[in-house]
Chain A
Amino acid sequence: MKHRWKYAVAAYAITISAAALAVEPDAAMLSNACAGCHGTYGGSAGPSMPSLAGHSKTAIVEAMKKFKSGERPSSIMGRLAKGYTDQQIELMGEYFSKQKIHFTNQKVDLAKAKRGAELQEEHCSRCHLDDGKEGKDDTPVMASQWLPYLQMQMELYQTGKRKMPERMAEKVKPLSPADIEALLHFYAGVNK
C-alpha cells in the first residue's frame, strides 16, 4: 500500500513536471495577442478601435468583465473576453496600465474642441481627469481616442445599448447634442 502510494506520487510528479515545462502565459504574452486590433503596446491606428495604452487597470478589468457578461454590448469582444480567466484579465489590465498613453494626432474641429474644453472643465473633469488622460476608478482614458470610436460609443450610450454610469448620466443629461459633439472633439484632439 505504501509502495503504491509512492508510485502514484512519482507518476503524478512526472505528469506535473511535463506540464510545468511551460510556464503560464504572463501579462505580455496575453496582451500581445490584442495588439493586432488595438495596436502594438495598445496604441490603436484604427479609427473605430480604442487605444488600450494608459488606461487604469480597473478600467480594463471592468470593461473586460462587462464584455464577458454581456452587460456591455460588443461584436467580437464578448466572444473573446469569455476566453480568459479573471486572473488573466487582471494581468492584461496591469499590462496596458503600464503603457504610455498613445497620442493619435488626429484632425479635429478646433472650434468644437475649444467649446469642448470648457464643457470638460465644467462637467466632466471630476472623473475624466487631466484632460481625459486619466480616469477616476474605472473611468477610461478619453484623451486622443479616435473620434469615430468616441462617436460610436456615445451613440451606444444614448440609444441605451450601453448603460451609462449614473454619475455620467447626471452630467450628460443637460448637454445638447452639439455640446457632446464638442466634448468628443476635445478629447480626440488632446495630443500631449
Chain B
Amino acid sequence: MTLNRRDFLKVVGGASSLALAGCAAQAPAVSSGSAAEIMPKTGRRVVVVGGGYGGTIAAKYVRMMDKSIEVVLIERNDHFVSCPFSNLYLGGLLPDLSSLTIKYDKLIANHGIKFVQAEVTGIDPAAHVVITDKGRLKYDRLIISPGIDFRTEEIKGYDAKTPEIMPHAWKAGPQTVLLRKQLEAMKDGGTVVISVPLAPFRCPPGPYERASMIAWYLKHNKPNSKVIILDANPDLVSKGALFRKGWDMHYKNIIDYRKAAKVTEIDVGKKAVLIEGLDEVRGDVVNLIPPQRAADIAVKADLVGDDKRWCPIDANTFESKKHKDIHVIGDASIAGAMPKSGYSANSEAKVCATNVVRLMNGQPVMSLSGINTCYSYIAKGEAISVAAVYAVKDGAIIAVPNSGGVSPADWSQAKTEAIYAESWLKNILTEMSS
C-alpha cells in the first residue's frame, strides 16, 4: 500500500483529487518525451515551487489577496523542517525536531491551495511550464523559493558521501539528526570543528549560534571538549560583538574562534580539514558547511546571474532579471540588504505575492516594505537579536536609515529575548501552516 501510494501522484486539496483521477487515466496516452500535464490550466494560475519559509507564505498570500487566482504549491516532501531553532536541538535543548516540523494540510485546506508533491526537474520559461517528475504544470506566473545548494566543487576531496561523515546540517532534517548523533557519540575531551564558508550564505548568524549551542551541550556533558570555528570570513558575519561577549561569558575555554580560515580541502578518512590547502585541523566531529549558491533548480532553469550563484531580481516584484513571469524569493535571490533568513523569506513572499496579484490584475507595482527579525541563542534561556525594516530606493532594497540594529551590549535583554524567540518560532510556523 505504502509503496503503491508513493508511486502515485500525490495531489491534495479542493477539486484537485478529481484532476488526479482524470490525469492518471490519461497518462498512458501521452507520448514519451513529453510528460503528462498534471492539472490542465483553466483560469489564471500561479505556481509556487518550494514549501519552506518563502513558498508557503507566497501561496497563502496570493490566495488571501485574490481568490480568483488558482494557486498550485509544488514541494518534494510532505512536510517541512525549520532550520531556525535546529541549533537548539544540536545543543540538547530540544528533544527532537517535531516542534520545528510543519505539515501542509491546514494551509491548503484553509486557503484552497492545490498541493502537488513532486520534484521539479526543469522550467520552460517560454512555454510557461514547470516540469516535475510527476508531470508538467502550466502557469501564468511562477514564484520559486528553492533555497540553497552547495558549491562542493570548491572543496578538494568532497564527494557525494562526504555529508554522511562530515554533515553540513544546513538543511534541517536527517543531516541535523546525524550531527546530533555524532556529538552524542563523541568522547569527552573531543574536538568539534565547524567550518564556516565565505558569505553570502543561508542564515548569517547561524554558524555562530550553532557553535554556542554545541558548546552549551559540551560544557554540561563533555566539559573537556572543544569547539574550533574555522571561519573563511575576515570576522564574524553577524552579531559579532554580541557573540564574542556571550562566548566570553559562557564558553571561554571551549570555543576557539579562528578568522580568515578558509577550508579548501578535506581528508574524510582522517576527519581532517585543510585551511587554504595547508594547515590541517582534525576533529572528532566535523560540521563542514560548504560555500553556497541558489538551489540546483534555479541554476538549471537559468535563473542565476553572472556570478553563477544567486538569482538577480527586481527589488519590488522579485521578478527574475533573467526570465519574465518567474519570481524568485528567499535565500536563492539577491535581495539587496535583506539577509538570507527565514523571516526575510516570509516578508519577501508577501511583497512578491502582493505584486504578482497586482500585475495579474493590471495594477501598478507597489514599493516593497519588509522586515527581518532574527534571534540567536547563546545559552539556555539567553538570546540576542537583530531586526531591520526595508524599503526600496533607486531600485535597490535598503535598510531604512536610523532604524533596526542588534540587542543592547549590556545583555539586559538576553533573557526576555529568549522568551520572545520561542514565540517568534510559534508564530512564523503557524503562519506557514495555517
Closest approach, in angstroms, between the C-beta of A22 and any C-beta of chain B?
A: 4
What total of chain A residues lie within 8 Å of the partner, measured CB to CB? 35
Q: Check A23 against B416 for contact (C-beta < 8 Å).
A: no
**Which residues of A from 8 to 28 have beta carbons under 8 Å from B?**
21-26, 28
The verdict on B280 contacting chain A, using a C-beta distance below 8 Å, is no
Q: Check A79 against B403 for contact (C-beta < 8 Å).
A: yes
Enumerate chain B residues within 8 angstroms of A33, measured Cβ to Cβ: 347, 350, 369-371, 389
Of B15-23, B291-299, B360-368, which stretch is located at the interface? Answer: B360-368
Which listed residue, B392, B399, B416, touches A22 by the CB 8 Å rule? B392
The verdict on A125 contacting chain B, using a C-beta distance below 8 Å, is no
Enumerate chain B residues within 8 angstroms of A99, measured Cβ to Cβ: none
Enumerate chain A residues within 8 angstroms of B367, measured Cβ to Cβ: 22-25, 29
Cα(A88)–Cα(B403), bound, Å:
14
The verdict on B413 contacting chain A, using a C-beta distance below 8 Å, is yes
The verdict on A108 contacting chain B, using a C-beta distance below 8 Å, is no
Q: Check B373 against A46 for contact (C-beta < 8 Å).
A: no
Residue in chain B with minimal CB distance to A50: B423
Cα(A83)–Cα(B397), bound, Å:
14
Cα(A23)–Cα(B392), bound, Å:
11
Q: Check A83 against B404 for contact (C-beta < 8 Å).
A: yes
The verdict on A40 contacting chain B, using a C-beta distance below 8 Å, is yes
Q: Check B423 against A36 for contact (C-beta < 8 Å).
A: no
Closest approach, in angstroms, between the C-beta of A131 and any C-beta of chain B?
A: 24
Which listed residue, A26, A29, A37, A81, touches B423 by the CB 8 Å rule? A37
Q: Check A21 against B366 for contact (C-beta < 8 Å).
A: no
Of B38-46, B123-131, B282-290, B425-433, which stretch is located at the interface? Answer: B425-433
Residue in chain A with minimal CB distance to B424: A37
Q: Check B364 against A21 for contact (C-beta < 8 Å).
A: yes
Enumerate chain A residues within 8 angstroms of B388, measured Cβ to Cβ: 79-80, 83
The verdict on A44 contacting chain B, using a C-beta distance below 8 Å, is yes
Q: Check B422 against A80 for contact (C-beta < 8 Å).
A: no
Q: Check A32 against B354 for contact (C-beta < 8 Å).
A: yes
Closest approach, in angstroms, between the C-beta of B341 and any C-beta of chain A?
A: 10
Cα(A22)–Cα(B351), bound, Å:
12
The verdict on A100 contacting chain B, using a C-beta distance below 8 Å, is no
Q: Check A38 against B427 for contact (C-beta < 8 Å).
A: yes
Cα(A34)–Cα(B428), bound, Å:
10
Enumerate chain A residues within 8 angstroms of B419, measured Cβ to Cβ: 48, 148, 152
Q: Check B364 against A48 for contact (C-beta < 8 Å).
A: no
Q: Check A23 against B431 for contact (C-beta < 8 Å).
A: no
Given known contacts A36-B347, A75-B407, A79-B404, is B387 in contact with A44 (CB within 8 Å)? no
Residue in chain A with minimal CB distance to B395: A18
Enumerate chain B residues within 8 angstroms of A21, measured Cβ to Cβ: 364-365
| Range of interface residues on B (Cβ < 8 Å) | 35 or more
The verdict on A98 contacting chain B, using a C-beta distance below 8 Å, is no
Closest approach, in angstroms, between the C-beta of B65 and any C-beta of chain A?
A: 8
Cα(A75)–Cα(B417), bound, Å:
7
Residue in chain B with minimal CB distance to A146: B423
Q: Check B364 against A23 for contact (C-beta < 8 Å).
A: yes
Enumerate chain A residues within 8 angstroms of B428, measured Cβ to Cβ: 36-37
The verdict on B346 contacting chain A, using a C-beta distance below 8 Å, is yes
Q: Check B404 against A29 for contact (C-beta < 8 Å).
A: no
Closest approach, in angstroms, between the C-beta of A76 and any C-beta of chain B?
A: 4
Q: Check B405 against A79 for contact (C-beta < 8 Å).
A: yes
The verdict on B61 contacting chain A, using a C-beta distance below 8 Å, is yes
The verdict on A63 contacting chain B, using a C-beta distance below 8 Å, is no
Cα(A37)–Cα(B326), bound, Å:
28
Given known contacts A79-B404, A83-B388, is B366 in contact with A29 (CB within 8 Å)? yes
The verdict on B34 contacting chain A, using a C-beta distance below 8 Å, is no
Q: Check A25 against B368 for contact (C-beta < 8 Å).
A: yes
A38-64 vs B, Cβ < 8 Å mask (1 yes, 0 no): 111000111111000000000000000
Residue in chain A with minimal CB distance to B404: A79
**Which residues of B from 341 to 394 have beta carbons under 8 Å from A?**
343, 346-347, 350-351, 354, 364-371, 373, 385, 387-389, 391-392
Enumerate chain B residues within 8 angstroms of A29, measured Cβ to Cβ: 350-351, 354, 366-369
Q: Check A83 against B403 for contact (C-beta < 8 Å).
A: yes
The list of the 5 closest CB pairs from A to B, nearest first, reads: A83-B389, A46-B423, A83-B403, A82-B403, A45-B430
Which residues of chain B have a CB within 8 Å of any CB of chain A? Answer: 60-61, 64, 316, 343, 346-347, 350-351, 354, 364-371, 373, 385, 387-389, 391-392, 399-400, 402-405, 407, 413, 416-417, 419-420, 422-428, 430-431, 434
10 interchain pairs (CB within 8 A)? A25-B368, A30-B369, A32-B61, A33-B371, A35-B350, A36-B343, A40-B431, A46-B430, A75-B420, A84-B389
